[in-house]
Structure formats: C-alpha cells, structure tokens
C-alpha cells in the first residue's frame, strides 16, 4: 500500500489529481474502511462488500446501503 504522511491513502494516485480531490478521497475512503453499524443488530459489524452492498458479521445479513459508508 502506497501511503504518505501528508496525503494518506490518496498517495496511491502518485502525482496529480490535485489536493482538493485527494482530501475528499481520503475522507470517503477512510470512512468506508471502518466497520459500520448494522441496522439490524446495531453492532459495529457491517462491512462493505461491494459498492452499496453491506454484510454484517454478527447477524449474517447482507443489505443495501450507501455506496461508500453507512449513515
């Protein structure tokens, strides 16, 4: 994983894309990587499977949600 202190995960893009775009990307991606709250059992066990598809480890439910993170 290419990662730098300043641009975090967006360092994988190398040079280019501009700081504003990178900052937005880092905000979305860092949130998406974290476990999200499952709407069925309220545990922080939901993981993003694909864009918009989430699966909960605890109750095993697969459900549709936000493309990048759950509210």
In whole angstroms, how close is the CB of 19 to Zn ion at the nearest point?
A: 37
3-class DSSP state of 21:
helix
- Residue 10 or 46 with smaller CB distance to Zn ion: 46
Per CB under 5 A, the list member of 34, 40, 52, 62 interacting with Zn ion is 40
Cα separation values, 55 from 27, 37, 44, 49, 63, Å? 22, 10, 11, 6, 6
37 binds Zn ion per the rule CB under 5 A: no
- Residue 10 or 56 with smaller CB distance to Zn ion: 56
């Amino acid at each position: 994983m290419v990662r730098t202190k300043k641009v975090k995960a967006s360092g994988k893009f190398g040079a280019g894309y501009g700081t504003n775009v990178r900052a937005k990307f880092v905000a979305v991606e860092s949130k998406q990587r974290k476990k999200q709250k499952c709407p069925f059992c309220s545990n922080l066990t939901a993981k993003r499977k694909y864009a918009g598809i989430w699966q909960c480890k605890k109750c095993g439910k697969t459900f549709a949600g936000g493309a990048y993170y759950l509210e």
